[in-house]
Amino acid sequence: MYVVCDISHILFCLLSTVCGGNYHASTGVIHSPGWPNHYGHGRECIWNIRVPPGQQIMLNFTTFNLEHHPDCNYDFLEIR
C-alpha cells in the first residue's frame, strides 16, 4: 500500500501500517509498519522523500534495530 504523505495526511502516515510511499511534507516522522512492534517478514518499504530545489533532507534516526545476519541478508537500510 502506498500513500502520498503531505501535511494533510501526516497523522495517517504516523499511526498506520503504511509501508512506503511518496513523502513531500516539510517535516515529519517515518516509522516501520506497526511501530513500536516488529514488522512482518518479507516487508519491503520504499519511501521516496522529495524536496524543492535548493532545500535539503536531514535524516535523524532515534531508534534503529536490524535483524542480525553476517551478510545483512534480511534487514537493511539503503539511502540513495
41-80 pLDDT tens trace: 788 888 898 888 998 888 888 888 878 888 878 888 888 8
Residue 3 has pLDDT above 50, yes or no: no
Instruction: Name which residue leads in pLDDT, 61 or 15.
Output: 61
Q: Are 23 and 29 in contact (CB under 8 A)?
A: no
Domain count across the chain = 1
Instruction: Give 16's pLDDT tier (boundaries 50, 70, 90).
Output: low
At 15, is the secondary structure helix, strand, or coil? helix
Residue 11 has pLDDT above 60, yes or no: no
The residue segments making up the domain with residue 73 are 1-80
d(CA 48, CA 31): 14
pLDDT at 13: 52
Q: If you average pLDDT over residues 7-33, what whole number do you get?
A: 69
